């Protein structure tokens, strides 16, 4: 039996009713009693402590993972409030899940390794196809965590990660594994055996101005660019429109003009959102940056973002080699979603037009997009901001 997927959503004001409705609708679409794996997304309006234990007990799946998100993507729309459930069953795909917690107080590389070992513990010798994981979006440099994962999991097997998100930045987020609620943690699911995957990560941003080089950095903070204080890149190009950034607020201008780090191949750019300006003129990014990386200010608009989504969907379709997908995951950056605004739904429809309008589709708004699907790239290049990831399983 190939993969069967059922998606359910509810925004009933009562938390338990919403959870029950979402499960019932997912089961109705699944048309099977047996559940191998379950995914769960909820917005901040629904307290996981109230529904997760009951939901996990009633479903009793071998694997259950999920996280908090600022918005849920369901069918062809964005839902700012609700609970979404995805149920999977298949006798051709094996699922195994695991978790790790307390990421803020341990070495992230080591934590990444532990996380993979936990996920692999029940898998045996099955051939691994994909690791999909959710990590607390507030972890500032998940590249070290990803490095640990790759060391343990292997560098040739695709790894896709998503940073959980809350309506307000710096608001606590949660990750779920079975009936456990984690914060500052990660939970993941390994798919093995017989399945075909299509995946892509695109953003649609274009570089502006002359190339500049990062001449001083520390983790996710750029100290200097071209030996000048880092903020000079914005001062020189934006002039009087420099935003009054602070630690908790991301200004519209910074969102509209993130930084682009040129990849080692020189073929593209990894987006880094800028979240704050420090007193010494340094700027804080959403993930790790390195010295000697060529950097640009990026420009994006709705059209270029939609084109990128279209390109991502075509790439996924090509990878599936004509096999129709049975499930589509869409992970949309929270900030990209803000930029697209009312065009976000159009983006989802574009993806459905290309991959199939009747295929169950579920997704979430993410704080970070981790896309490690090709060997030979540095972990830093695999951590994205303001990007869109599509994963299709056939």
Site residues, another protein (CB under 8 A): 11, 13, 44-47, 70, 77, 79-81, 167-169, 208-213, 215, 226-227, 236-239, 241, 249-250, 252-253, 255-257, 294, 297, 299, 301, 335, 338-339, 341-342
Output 46 or 133, the one with its CB closest to another protein: 46
Secondary structure (DSSP) of 194-260: S--EEEEEE---EEEEEEEEEEEEETTEEEEETTEETTHHHHHHHGGG-----SS---HHHHHS-EE
Nearer to another protein, 193 or 236 (CB): 236
CB 359, min distance to another protein, A: 22
Find the shortest distance in angstroms from Cβ 162 to another protein: 19
Task: Please list the residues that pair with 177 across neighbouring strands.
Answer: 65, 180
Choose between 195 and 250: whose C-beta lies nearer to another protein.
Answer: 250
> What is the token pair recorded at 252?
């519209």
Number of C-beta neighbours around residue 54 at 10 A? 15
Rounded least distance, CB 361 to another protein, Å: 17
CB of 27 to another protein, least distance (A): 24
Question: Token pair 């990007």 is at which residue?
Answer: 387
Q: Which is nearer to another protein, 207 or 281 (CB)?
A: 207
Are 171 and 199 in contact, with CB atoms under 8 Å apart? Answer: no
Q: Which of 47, 179 has the CB closer to another protein?
A: 47
Query: Closest approach of Cβ 247 to another protein, in Å?
Result: 13
Residue number, 81 or 123, with CB nearest to another protein? 81
CA distance 197 to 305: 23
**How many angstroms separate the CA atoms of 260 and 360, rounded?**
33
Nearest distance from C-beta of residue 334 to another protein, angstroms: 9
What is the C-alpha separation between 258 and 252, in angstroms, rounded? 10
């Amino acid at each position: 039996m190939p993969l069967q997927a059922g998606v359910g959503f509810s925004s009933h004001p009562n938390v338990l009713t919403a959870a029950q409705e979402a499960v019932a609708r997912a089961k109705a679409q699944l048309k099977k009693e047996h559940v191998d794996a379950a995914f769960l997304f909820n917005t901040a309006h629904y307290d996981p402590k109230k529904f997760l234990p009951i939901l996990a007990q009633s479903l009793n799946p071998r694997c259950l993972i999920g996280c908090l998100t600022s918005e849920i993507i369901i069918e062809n729309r964005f839902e700012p409030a609700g609970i979404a459930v995805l149920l999977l069953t298949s006798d051709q795909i094996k699922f195994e899940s695991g978790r790790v917690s307390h990421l803020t107080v341990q070495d992230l590389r080591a934590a990444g390794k532990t996380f993979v070992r936990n996920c692999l513990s029940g898998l045996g010798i099955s051939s691994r196809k994909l690791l999909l994981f959710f990590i607390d979006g507030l972890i500032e440099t998940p590249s070290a965590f990803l490095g640990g994962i790759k060391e343990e999991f292997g560098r040739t097997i695709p790894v896709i990660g998503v940073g959980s998100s809350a309506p307000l930045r710096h608001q606590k987020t949660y990750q779920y594994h079975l009936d456990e609620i984690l914060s500052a943690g990660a939970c993941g699911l390994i798919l093995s055996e017989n399945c075909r995957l299509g995946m892509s990560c695109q953003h649609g941003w274009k570089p502006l101005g002359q190339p500049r080089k990062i001449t001083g950095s520390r983790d996710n903070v750029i100290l200097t660019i071209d030996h000048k204080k880092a903020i000079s890149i914005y001062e020189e190009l934006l002039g009087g429109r420099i935003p009054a950034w602070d630690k908790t607020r991301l200004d519209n201008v910074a969102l509209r003009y993130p930084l682009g780090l040129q990849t080692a191949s020189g073929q593209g750019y990894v987006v880094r959102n800028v979240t704050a300006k420090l007193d010494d003129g340094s700027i804080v990014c959403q993930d790790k940056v390195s010295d000697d990386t060529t950097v640009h200010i990026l420009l994006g608009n709705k059209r270029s973002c939609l084109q990128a989504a279209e390109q991502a969907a075509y790439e996924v379709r090509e990878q599936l080699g004509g096999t129709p997908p049975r499930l589509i995951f869409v992970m949309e950056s929270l900030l990209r979603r803000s930029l697209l605004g009312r065009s976000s739904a159009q983006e989802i429809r574009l993806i459905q037009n290309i991959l199939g309008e009747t295929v169950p589709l579920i997704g979430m708004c993410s704080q970070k997009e981790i896309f490690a699907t090709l060997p030979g790239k540095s972990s830093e290049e695999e951590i994205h901001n303001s990007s869109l990831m599509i994963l299709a399983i056939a």
